[in-house]
Amino acid sequence: MTTRKPRVLATRHFPPDVEARLTSNFDAVLNPEDRLFDGPSLAKASDGCDGIMCAAGDPLNAETIAALPASVRMIATFSVGYEHVDVGAAARRKILVSNTPDVLTDATADIAMLCLLGAARRAHEGAAMLRTHQWVGWSPTQLMGVHVTGKRLGILGMGRIGQAMADRARAFRMTIHYSNRNRLPHDLEKGAIFHADPEAMLPHCDFLSINAPMTSTTRKWVNAERIARLPKGAVVVNTARGGVVDDDALIAALKSGHLASAGIDVFDGEPKIHQGYYGLENAFLLPHMGSATVETRNAMGFKALDNLEAYLLKEQSPPDLVRASS
């Protein structure tokens, strides 16, 4: 007797090694053209599927989840962030949800440090000057930026990525301040200064790195009032989610000079980002590249597959099960 392989829809075109394993273990429905699904087309494409391997940006909101066929038992997102999946709506339909924690911690912290340094040291202005043949030679006042070594870094959200960012910043002899729902144990805190109230941390931040997930509490948390509490000349770094920042407020502070610069890898509504960013010289902008290394993207895909295989092939609980917050 031949048993049917569970059918899994890949909503995106994933790395080749990931798709090879997906195809070998499942009846895979691939998306080689990497076309973007809207809610109704995603629900339609899931017809007859047991699982969905999705990614950030896929609209797995309550409406889409309600429209999924009864066959769907699991959604595995190829991301650590899962704000694009309505976990509560999935739970009500007894659909399990998993994510990919840990494997992208280092790559994302590396990009956070790149954003911090790029913004502070005006890297893109220098690169553009050179590539557009505008560089007429070194001068004593050319492209002077913000000094990094020894400064104070405030980290909003001291989870895995926040802690990895702190480790990198310690190599630059930065003093680490952080705010998190819970204070870290002593061995993980490594001398960082805890602020139970994130607002109270802001005046201590020469640099502010946003490493908090996007939730109803963090939505537009970095607003005009809070930016005003940062010291003049501070640098803001965001590699978490664009929605944590009020774009109008950040752009205004970059224009007024209250903030020296910003290093940003994630945007509200990406890829349709706030038009105001395009003209800002003092913004070092990247197109959501935090986890974009071959090793990391493979590890993310394999983790998503570990979860799908556990549940759909072995009838075990997925190791990275995400639960609806109460």
CA distance 49 to 52: 7
Residue 11 near ligand 8YV by CB under 6 A: no
Where in 264-293 is the site for ligand 8YV (CB under 6 A)?
A: 290-291
Q: What's at 36, amino acid-wise? A: L
- Which CA distances in Å does 75 have to 59, 60, 241, 314, 325? 12, 9, 21, 16, 17
Helices (H), 72-194: 87-92, 105-120, 123-131, 160-170, 186-189
Does residue 270 carry a catalytic annotation? yes
Stretch that binds ligand 8YV, among 34-42, 74-82, 148-156, 176-184 (CB under 6 A): 74-82
Residue 163 near ligand 8YV by CB under 6 A: no
Closer by beta carbon to ligand 8YV, 52 or else 253:
52
Residue 59 near ligand 8YV by CB under 6 A: no
Q: Token digits for 154?
A: 């405030």
Residue 56 near ligand 8YV by CB under 6 A: yes
Q: Which of 288, 295, 309, 323 is catalytic?
A: 288
Stretch that binds ligand 8YV, among 63-71, 73-81, 127-135, 245-253 (CB under 6 A): 73-81
Closer by beta carbon to ligand 8YV, 21 or else 297:
297
Q: Which long-range contacts (CB under 8 A, 24 or more apart) does 26-33 make?
A: 26/51, 26/308, 26/312
Residue 243 near ligand 8YV by CB under 6 A: no
Binding mask 78-117 for ligand 8YV (x = CB under 6 A): xxxx----------------------x---x---------
Residue 299 near ligand 8YV by CB under 6 A: no
Closer by beta carbon to ligand 8YV, 154 or else 290:
290
Strands (E), 132-215: 152-156, 175-179, 193-194, 207-210
CA distance 211 to 209: 6
Give the total of residues touching ligand 8YV (CB under 6 A): 10
**Exposed, middle or buried: residue 136 (CB in 10 Å: 0-12, 13-18, 19+)?**
exposed
Residues in the chain, total: 326
Does residue 288 carry a catalytic annotation? yes
Q: State in angstroms the smallest separation of the CB of 79 from ligand 8YV.
A: 3
Q: How many CB atoms lie within 10 A of CB 251?
A: 20
Q: What's at 101, amino acid-wise? A: P
Helices (H) and strands (E) in the chain, counts: 12, 12
Q: Token digits for 21?
A: 């394993």
Does residue 84 carry a catalytic annotation? no
Closer by beta carbon to ligand 8YV, 99 or else 180:
99
Q: Which residues does the annotation mark as catalytic?
A: 241, 270, 288
Which chain residues interact with ligand 8YV by CB under 6 A?
A: 55-56, 78-81, 104, 108, 290-291
